Homo-oligomer: A and B are copies of this chain.
Amino acid sequence: MGIVVQKYGGSSVADGEAIKRVARRIVEAKRDGNDVVVAVSAMGDSTDELLGLASQVSPLPPARELDMLLTAGERISMALVAMAISDLGFSARSFTGSQAGVITDSVHGKAKIIDVTPGRIQSAIDEGHIVIVAGFQGVSQDTKEITTLGRGGTDTTAVALAAALDADVCEIYTDVDGVFTADPRIVPTARKLDTVTYEEMLELAACGAKILHLRCVEYARRYDIPIHVRSSFSHLEGTIVRGSIDDQAHQESTMEAAIIAGVAHDRSEAKITVVGVPDKVGEAARIFTALADAQINLDMIVQNVSAAATNLTDISFTLPRSDGAVAMAALDALQDEVGFESLQYDETIGKVSLIGAGMRSHPGVTAKFFASIAEAGVNIGMISTSEIRISVVVSEIDVDAAVAATHTAFDLDADEVEAVVYGGTGR
A interface residues, Cβ below 8 angstroms from B: 15-17, 19-20, 23, 50, 53-54, 56-62, 64-66, 68-69, 71-73, 75-76, 78-84, 86-87, 92-94, 99, 144
Contacts and interface: CB of A to CB of B under 8 A. Distances in A.
Contact of A53 (B75, B78, B80, B87): B80
A158 to B, nearest CB: 19
B87 A80 contact: no
B16 A56 contact: yes
5 contacts: A50-B76, A54-B83, A57-B80, A58-B83, A62-B82
Contact of A93 (B15, B53, B64): B64
Contacts of A19: 56-57
Nearest to A15: B56
Nearest to A23: B57
Number of copies: 2
A65 B50 contact: no
Contacts of A79: 54, 65-66, 68-69, 72
B71 A83 contact: no
Contact of A68 (B56, B59, B69, B75): B75
A57 B84 contact: yes
Contacts of A57: 16, 19-20, 23, 80-81, 83-84, 87
Contacts of A72: 72-73, 75-76, 79
Contacts of A81: 57
A53 to B, nearest CB: 6
Summarize A's interface: helix, strand, loop or mixed.
helix
A264 B57 CA distance: 39
Contacts of A20: 57
Contacts of A69: 75-76, 79-80, 83
A54 B68 CA distance: 22
Contacts of A99: 144
A54 B75 contact: no
Nearest to A67: B79
Given A66-B79, A69-B80, A53 B16 contact: yes
A75 B46 CA distance: 14
A155 to B, nearest CB: 22
Given A58-B86, A84-B58, A53 B65 contact: no
> Which residue, A75, A76, A82, has most C-beta atoms of chain B within 10 A?
A76
Contacts of A86: 58, 61-62, 65
A287 B376 CA distance: 89
Given A53-B16, A57-B84, A58-B83, A94 B71 contact: no
Contact of A82 (B60, B68, B75, B93): B68
Contacts of A84: 57-58
Nearest to A76: B72
A140 to B, nearest CB: 13
Nearest to A43: B53
Closest 10 CB pairs of A and B: A16-B56, A69-B79, A58-B87, A61-B83, A57-B84, A68-B79, A58-B83, A72-B72, A72-B75, A65-B82
Contacts of A75: 68-69, 71-72, 75
A53 B44 CA distance: 13
